[in-house]
Chain A
Amino acid sequence: MTENRAGTVRRICQDHGGDRTRMMDIVLAVQKEFGYVPSAMMDVIAAETGSHRVEVESVVSFYAFLSSRPKGKVIIRLCDDIIDQMAGAERVRQVFEEELGIRVGQTTADGRITLEHTPCIGMSDQAPAALVNDVVVTELNGDKAREVARSLLEYMDPDRLVREYGDGNNAHELIQSMVHNHIRRRDQVILADMTPGEALNKALAMSPAEVIRDVNTARLRGRGGAGFPTGMKWNFTRRAAGTDRYVVCNADEGEPGTFKDRVILTEATDLMIEGMTIGGYAVGANTGIIYLRAEYAYLRAYLEHALEERRRQGLLGKSICGKQGFDFDIRIQMGAGAYICGEETSLLSSCEGERGDPKNRPPFPAEKGYMGKPTTVNNVETFCCVARILEKGPGWFAQIGSEGSSGTKLLSISGDCRGPGVYEVPFGISLREVQRMAGAVDTAAMQIGGPSGQMVGPEDFDRSICFDDISTGGSIMIFGADRDLLHVVDQFMAFFIEESCGYCTPCRVGNVLLRKRLNAVRQGLGTAADLQYLQELGETVKLASRCGLGQTSPNPILTTLERFRPLYEAKLKAEDDGLLSTFDVRSAMSEAEAITGRSSVHFSKA
């Protein structure tokens, strides 16, 4: 059997040219074949790709969707982010556990079905949701979870779970998903009609430098959250020394609470690809890569089809739109479950077949990116903006939005509101207006920009969404008055601990320490000194961490310490017994009490 397997694995490696930089595709394919990446096969992969076994193991162990241990033919991944929890994920979990007779993290005794938790899968507007292999199931509740579990036990066929298709291209024959777009507000930039090729032809009539000039004139800034001027990035890439250049589209939408790229990928597909192609022309690239998060694997066939269509129309491939010398094509690189890969240098590591560790900067990707070549990495939405800028002109684009933030922004709104979904709004919209638009009443807090962003309360509701005030990559979570905000903070910290790559000390260790102390305070063991500790440790992690993940990971604690301090203060110890928050005398004796069957003579139960 091992011989057969080895043969299969060899073939998979050969299909990828024995190229170790295609390690992600190879291990994903091996996993698709066997349900996991067997340890013995790592040696085969290493031999076929001129790599080392431990390098293969390193990659496999890094990504949440890859496993070196056998798993079920069907893997149910229940989304357990905060929005799903609020929508009833706990009940859904219970039902799955009951019906399957296993706990989360386990596989049924017959080895057929595995049950797992996973962070945000980009369905916060239709929570609770789950992935069953590549199939998305949404708006779960106890009854639906029971139905899903029983259907799987009987038929082992995730596709059977989809009875009705969602709107728009979710119903496309290559998607056939129950996912809904929930587009609740359209504006002129992203969610408007377009004619494929129009913007591209206009761009190709100009010189690459002129295209970049237009993007600069439009004052376009990156939509992923950081807001770096796109034209400047392209200029760096264009001017960098080197021959091959790359354009990479970051479709690794992993920030909890954001799902707008999912909608762009199906409803503004051409706009996005056109923007990428224009980017390729502008920076002088021949190759584009769409890095698609594993959670959106169900969109892959559709996207491949869209790329193929454009090749057919002469909008991709050789001599695009008849322009001699402009050859540009795009491939899709699948991710495998790692939030860190949304960070551009981690994303490039992943594209190169490595662990998704961020790279040291400098050199920046514009100079030395994918395979050491000049590379620009831009967000899905940014590419859409580019195409529209070229179509309608930079002046038209620049007059939309606010002073320092031109254009529109897609917001993914979820949580306590009547209209969770995608909203395209001009920059400059106030948070209060966002609430009104989404039908949120009695709002206690809003998390802007996901866990890496900030939590704001009523005193900030008149502030506006733009790069100069409150910036967001798109995630907006709304929390009503009855939500335990410190629980939200705890869940965000758990998320960062889970998703840290572990490369640098402050992020790897600091976040664990932060969460421990946060929970000591939540349990009522803390004093004012503990709040000081959280503040100081949080600031150090922010300052000393190597990449954007660590530099933002303490934000849930730091922003709530600043704006929701009374919530912490209410938890502080009323009477100081001299014991520190690092020591919980009751739980410290739990094992001994269980073993001896008696309770402490000194510290009786409170």
Chain B
Amino acid sequence: MGKPIIATTSLAGCFGCHMSILDIDDRILKLFELIDFDRSPINDIKHISQRCAVGLVEGGCANEENVVVLQEFRQNCDVLVSVGDCATMGGIPALRNTISLKECLDEAYLNGPTVFNATGKVPDSEDIPLLLNKVYPCHEVVKMDYHLPGCPPPADAIWEALVALLNGKPLELPYELIKYD
């Protein structure tokens, strides 16, 4: 039996949570002894190629491509974990949720005080995924098994989570590692 496989992805997030993964410092060497990475921004693999033990998802679900990625992760990972506040509650991107999408786009591309946009149009192409009406926490789109809140979650929380999950244990974080900020 080979090493357990882990996949990670960042949806509507800032990659800060992935930075926090790297923040486990020298333990990362140990991590690489224990596991292999499949799809992840760390190795730039674009699609999951094999069954994964754990999937880590950063960021909320903001567009149709995010939905596809979440489905891919759900289908191919035994355990799926929301990492960070964007994944667990929408985070900063979800600030747009109380404003209509059209208003948001118009402000960003047409009306905002710092906008210079000679085309006078909101960019659009087949290659740009359609935005969702609002940003969803991941667990409102597909079933997520665990949540690591925090902006970002402390590296220790990520480490504890991985150690527990790779040992087939339920994830129970101590008081000091559940923080929403």
Given A585-B67, A591-B100, A580 and B133 touching (CB < 8 A)? no
List residues of A (536-582) whose CB comes within 8 Å of B's CBs: 577-580, 582
On chain B, the residues within 8 Å of A588 by CB distance are 132-134, 136
Partner of A603, one of B61, B67, B101: B67
On chain B, the residues within 8 Å of A592 by CB distance are 101, 130-133
Q: Are B68 and A602 in contact (CB under 8 A)?
A: yes
On chain B, the residues within 8 Å of A582 by CB distance are 136, 140-141
Q: Convert A573-605 into 0s and 1s, putting 1 for each residue whose CB lies closer than 8 angstroms to a CB of B.
A: 000011110110101111111011010111100
User: What residue of chain B has the Cβ atom nearest to residue A588's Cβ?
Assistant: B132
* B124, CB-defined interface residue at 8 Å: yes
A585 to B141, CA, bound (A): 9
* B143, CB-defined interface residue at 8 Å: yes
Q: Are A583 and B124 in contact (CB under 8 A)?
A: no
Q: Most chain-B Cβ atoms within 10 A of its Cβ — which of A593, A598, A602?
A: A602
User: What residue of chain A has the Cβ atom nearest to residue B132's Cβ?
Assistant: A588
* B105, CB-defined interface residue at 8 Å: yes
On chain A, the residues within 8 Å of B139 by CB distance are 580
A589 to B130, CA, bound (A): 7
On chain A, the residues within 8 Å of B143 by CB distance are 578, 580
Least Cβ distance of B3 to chain A in Å?
A: 26
On chain B, the residues within 8 Å of A596 by CB distance are 124, 130
Q: Are A601 and B132 in contact (CB under 8 A)?
A: no
Q: Are B65 and A602 in contact (CB under 8 A)?
A: yes
Q: Are B142 and A579 in contact (CB under 8 A)?
A: yes
Least Cβ distance of B21 to chain A in Å?
A: 25
Count contacts on A: residues with CB < 8 A to the other chain.
21
List residues of B (65-99) whose CB comes within 8 Å of A's CBs: 65, 67-68, 71, 74-75
Q: Are B101 and A591 in contact (CB under 8 A)?
A: yes
List residues of B (116-145) whose CB comes within 8 Å of A's CBs: 122, 124, 126, 129-134, 136, 139-143
A431 to B16, CA, bound (A): 64
On chain A, the residues within 8 Å of B142 by CB distance are 578-580, 583
Least Cβ distance of B109 to chain A in Å?
A: 11
On chain A, the residues within 8 Å of B101 by CB distance are 591-592, 595
User: What residue of chain A has the Cβ atom nearest to residue B65's Cβ?
Assistant: A602
A159 to B132, CA, bound (A): 52
Q: Are B130 and A600 in contact (CB under 8 A)?
A: yes
Q: Are B64 and A602 in contact (CB under 8 A)?
A: yes
On chain B, the residues within 8 Å of A593 by CB distance are 130
On chain A, the residues within 8 Å of B131 by CB distance are 591-592
A578 to B68, CA, bound (A): 11
A166 to B143, CA, bound (A): 59
Q: Are B64 and A578 in contact (CB under 8 A)?
A: no
User: What residue of chain B has the Cβ atom nearest to residue A601's Cβ?
Assistant: B126
Given A589-B133, A593-B130, A595-B102, A583 and B65 touching (CB < 8 A)? no
Least Cβ distance of B98 to chain A in Å?
A: 14
Q: Are B64 and A589 in contact (CB under 8 A)?
A: yes
User: What residue of chain A has the Cβ atom nearest to residue B133's Cβ?
Assistant: A591
A603 to B134, CA, bound (A): 17
Q: Are A589 and B132 in contact (CB under 8 A)?
A: yes
Least Cβ distance of B107 to chain A in Å?
A: 13
Q: Are B130 and A580 in contact (CB under 8 A)?
A: no
A580 to B67, CA, bound (A): 11
A208 to B71, CA, bound (A): 74
On chain A, the residues within 8 Å of B132 by CB distance are 588-589, 592
A597 to B65, CA, bound (A): 18
On chain A, the residues within 8 Å of B74 by CB distance are 578
A365 to B59, CA, bound (A): 53
A82 to B41, CA, bound (A): 54
User: What residue of chain A has the Cβ atom nearest to residue B131's Cβ?
Assistant: A592
List residues of B (44-61) whose CB comes within 8 Å of A's CBs: 61
Given A595-B101, A600-B130, A583 and B140 touching (CB < 8 A)? yes
Least Cβ distance of B47 to chain A in Å?
A: 14
Least Cβ distance of B126 to chain A in Å?
A: 7
A392 to B139, CA, bound (A): 66
Q: Are B136 and A583 in contact (CB under 8 A)?
A: yes
A593 to B102, CA, bound (A): 11
On chain B, the residues within 8 Å of A602 by CB distance are 64-65, 67-68, 129
User: What residue of chain B has the Cβ atom nearest to residue A591's Cβ?
Assistant: B101
Q: Most chain-B Cβ atoms within 10 A of its Cβ — which of A583, A598, A601, A602?
A: A583
On chain B, the residues within 8 Å of A591 by CB distance are 100-102, 131, 133
Q: Are B64 and A603 in contact (CB under 8 A)?
A: yes
A439 to B132, CA, bound (A): 52
On chain A, the residues within 8 Å of B140 by CB distance are 580, 582-583
On chain B, the residues within 8 Å of A589 by CB distance are 64, 130, 132-133
A578 to B73, CA, bound (A): 10
Least Cβ distance of B72 to chain A in Å?
A: 10
List residues of B (123-174) whose CB comes within 8 Å of A's CBs: 124, 126, 129-134, 136, 139-143
Q: Convert B19-53 into 0s and 1s, putting 1 for each residue whose CB lies closer than 8 angstroms to a CB of A.
A: 00000000000000000000000000000000000
On chain A, the residues within 8 Å of B141 by CB distance are 579-580, 582-583
A587 to B129, CA, bound (A): 15
Least Cβ distance of B65 to chain A in Å?
A: 7
Least Cβ distance of A395 to chain B in Å?
A: 63
Least Cβ distance of A209 to chain B in Å?
A: 60
User: What residue of chain A has the Cβ atom nearest to residue B137's Cβ?
Assistant: A582
Q: Most chain-B Cβ atoms within 10 A of its Cβ — which of A587, A595, A603?
A: A595
A590 to B134, CA, bound (A): 11
A560 to B10, CA, bound (A): 42
A579 to B102, CA, bound (A): 26
User: What residue of chain B has the Cβ atom nearest to residue A589's Cβ?
Assistant: B130
A593 to B132, CA, bound (A): 9
On chain B, the residues within 8 Å of A580 by CB distance are 139-143
User: What residue of chain B has the Cβ atom nearest to residue A590's Cβ?
Assistant: B133
On chain B, the residues within 8 Å of A585 by CB distance are 64, 67
User: What residue of chain A has the Cβ atom nearest to residue B67's Cβ?
Assistant: A585
On chain B, the residues within 8 Å of A578 by CB distance are 71, 74-75, 142-143
Return 16 A-B CB contacts under 8 Å, by A number. Answer: A578-B74, A578-B142, A579-B67, A579-B142, A580-B140, A583-B141, A588-B134, A589-B133, A590-B133, A591-B102, A592-B133, A595-B122, A598-B130, A600-B130, A601-B126, A602-B129
Which B positions have Cβ atoms within 8 angstroms of A?
A: 61, 64-65, 67-68, 71, 74-75, 100-102, 105, 122, 124, 126, 129-134, 136, 139-143
Since A580-B141, A591-B101, A602-B68 are in contact, a sample of 4 more A-B pairs with Cβ atoms closer than 8 Å, ordered by chain A residue number, is A579-B67, A590-B133, A592-B133, A602-B65
Which A positions have Cβ atoms within 8 angstroms of B?
A: 577-580, 582-583, 585, 587-593, 595-596, 598, 600-603
Q: State the 7 A-B residue pairs at the shortest beta-carbon distance, nearest first.
A: A592-B130, A582-B140, A591-B101, A583-B141, A588-B132, A591-B133, A592-B131
